[in-house]
Amino acid sequence: MIKYFDKLLLSLSEIENHPILLVHALSGCQLRCFHCLNRSELIEKYHDRYYTIHDVIDYAKKQSLLFDYIVFSGGEFLLSSLDDLISDLTILRQEVKKPVIVYTNGIAFEKVVELHQRGLVDGFHVDMKLPFHLLTSEDFDLAELTLGIPLRDMSIPQRILQTLEYIISVDQGLNRIRSVRYPFLGPEAFAENRLWVEAMNRQYGRHVPYDVHSFIYNTNEEVAPSFQLARHP
């Protein structure tokens, strides 16, 4: 069973020109991203009170005139088991006739594919925190600072790239790719991300947007040193 934060949010700031119902899953996260704003409340804190999907559906039905999309976030929503994800999203589909968008870090590639192919998710918004296509072992310090976990190889960046390419290849207008303007990354990192997204869009004949969001410090975290992406020939 997936547990959901018992404070659902009607938001105008998440997706331009569209009010949304934002639903946070209490599923944890594989990453400890630099200055994550959701970690203390949604990942580390124990919640003895929570919503089930039926509570989410009840709220969504009552407020259906106030939002265009239902957005699932976390932590990492796709950290839940595939069976639970399929079960909850199937029930939601039957009861609430609104497009479903999932915010994800992109690690759960197989779940993204399965949920898309089953028609349970209309859009995925995936974080491209770094130019993953350019990373080598020389960039592990930078990647570990950004993602907050040790990297032993390139498997996690490669899985995220798989997800990013997949959501571009199958986009029907609701997928997006986004970055956070981390203070230790120079503008060339986001320029490289944009070039990669544009190349994938050309390859698949799609128009998935790429956004760079402002960085907000979590005052409970330490300030990080500056890094630069290693330059490779």
Decide if pLDDT at 167 tops 60: yes
Residue 91 lies in a domain: yes
1 or 44, which is more confident?
Answer: 1
Residue 225 lies in a domain: no
Residue 181 lies in a domain: yes
Residue 62 lies in a domain: yes
Q: Cα 81 to chain center, whole Å? A: 17
What value does the mean pLDDT take over residues 124-141?
A: 93
Q: Model pTM? A: 0.89
Predicted local distance difference test score (pLDDT) of residue 223 = 44
Residue 51 lies in a domain: yes
Predicted local distance difference test score (pLDDT) of residue 19 = 95
Residue 222 lies in a domain: no
Between CA 20 and CA 24 the distance in angstroms is 13
Decide if pLDDT at 151 tops 80: yes
Asked if residue 158 lies in contact with residue 177, where contact means CB atoms within 8 angstroms, the answer is no
Nearest alpha carbon to residue 101 among 85, 117, 125, 80: 125
**Number of compact structural domains in the chain:** 1
How confident is residue 220, by pLDDT bands cut at 50, 70 and 90? low
Asked if residue 19 lies in contact with residue 66, where contact means CB atoms within 8 angstroms, the answer is yes
Residue 54 lies in a domain: yes
Decide if pLDDT at 227 tops 70: no
Decide if pLDDT at 170 tops 90: yes
Residue 194 lies in a domain: yes
What value does the mean pLDDT take over residues 201-217?
A: 92
Between CA 188 and CA 208 the distance in angstroms is 20
Between CA 98 and CA 181 the distance in angstroms is 31
| CATH code assigned at 82 | 3.20.20.70
* Amino acid present at 170: V
Q: For residue 77, what are the domain limits?
A: 9-213
